[in-house]
Amino acid sequence: MAKRTKAPAKKPGAPPMPGFIAPQLATLKMKAPSGTQWIHEVKYDGYRIQLRINGDDRRAYTRNGHNWVQKFSVIAGAFDIEGQAIVDGEVVVIHEGRTNFSELQADLARGDQDRLVYFVFDLLWLDGQDLRKLSQLARKELLKELIESNQIKEPILYSEHHEGDGQALFEAASKLNYEGIVSKRVDAPYRSERVEAWHKIKAVQTGKFPVVGFIKDPTGVAALYLGKKEGKELVYMGKVGTGWSQTTSRKIRDALDTVVSPKQKLTKPIRMPKATWVEPKFYADVEYRDITSEGLLRASSFKGLTRK
């Protein structure tokens, strides 16, 4: 193992190494900030993981504080350093040139760690020193030095940042079908809460999908089942259950009640005991993040209803 430059010795009376540190969370924004006070990183579509290293004691905490080190044992072992460190980052699987959450979930379900990559973007603790009060840029510089001086390689990757026009990076990321970007104040400390010092700008996709069924609720609909035409077939694309007000929910229900069908119209029927099936005469305008490996919409939100 490569030896790294030792941090200043721990001072007498210094605080003990913390356990799990609640993560700093970004605030959702519509547009990326600009100016010299901001840096910008690609937003990774994976599991937020805090790696805690205390000699041979390795822990990999989820954002809710669960220790998943067995699931990420290869990554924990690859961060080969002496001493103490608490690192913040995202575990991902790269599939077809971008991070893919569905592929990550599938690999974890199989217990397969071969494709796991850990993008590290923050350093919270190092050898008895709490770094959270340092600026964002100072923490990233220390993190990069830690990785380079120890010659840490894949599956650990340092998350590079970009300066300048955040919106230009966001537009480029969107064209590549990335999840979006995170913009960070260069002078901000690390705080365990949702903050304005981190902005997340998320890319979304849009589409029109025939409504093939719905779930009733007392005031309208609880969810819509969606399909997609593929040649002569009508295939199931998942459901959407957010994005409408109570008034809109009632209007959707009134419209769909006019096209109720005794049988579902999907080419390959699915079992949904609570569903009321309809003729695919109405289309839902939907925003969604991605399409899963099973061919279903992910992170979908309803935007409107139109008749065929």
Find, among 282, 279, 283, 240, the residue nearest to 263 by Cα: 279
Q: Render pLDDT for 160-208 as a digit per residue (tens, 0 to 9).
A: 999 988 998 998 888 887 889 999 999 999 999 999 999 999 888 889 9
pLDDT surpassing 80 at residue 9: no
> What is 37-202's CATH topology?
D-amino Acid Aminotransferase; Chain A, domain 1 (3.30.470)
The DSSP line for 202-256 is E--EEEEEEEEEEEEETTEEEEEEEEEEETTEEEEEEEE--S--HHHHHHHHHHH
> What is 205-307's CATH topology?
OB fold (Dihydrolipoamide Acetyltransferase, E2P) (2.40.50)
Report cis status (omega within 30 of 0) of the bond before 155. Answer: yes
pLDDT surpassing 80 at residue 13: no
| DSSP bridge pairs for 40 | 162, 183
* Domain assignments of the chain as residue spans, ordered by start: 37-202, 205-307
Q: Render pLDDT for 267-288 as a digit per residue (tens, 0 to 9).
A: 999 999 899 999 999 999 998 8
Find, among 277, 253, 273, 282, the residue nearest to 264 by Cα: 277
